[in-house]
Amino acid sequence: MSTSNENVEYAWYSQNQFEHINNNTGYNNGKTSPYIYYKLTTGKMVQITEIINSYRKSMFDDAVCLGIIESFCCIREIPMDLNLYY
């Protein structure tokens, strides 16, 4: 039996993209919530900047694929201490 990867979502992080998101206050009444967290299928909680439905590369040249997403955690205005989850 083969499995389909059509619904697989990959978490990516790019420092350049994060800085762009963090500096873009033109939406949400000038407020930013650039810290976006997801749980991976490995159980690890990660900060992401982008979700891509395939393993194709992000448009940001410094982007790193973090893994396959299991579930959404939260969006925050300040960073989380991810060490508290391990």
Residue 23 covered by a domain? yes
Cα four-point dihedral sign 30, 52, 67, 3? positive
Domain count, the chain: 1
Residue 64 has pLDDT above 80, yes or no: yes
Residue 15 covered by a domain? yes
Residue 4 covered by a domain? no
pTM of the full predicted structure?
Answer: 0.80
Residue 5 covered by a domain? no
**Helix ranges restricted to H, 3-85:** 15-23
Residue 62 covered by a domain? yes
Residue 46 has pLDDT above 50, yes or no: yes
Residue 31 covered by a domain? yes
pLDDT given at position 23? 77
Residue 3 covered by a domain? no
What is the extent of the structural domain holding 76?
Answer: 10-80
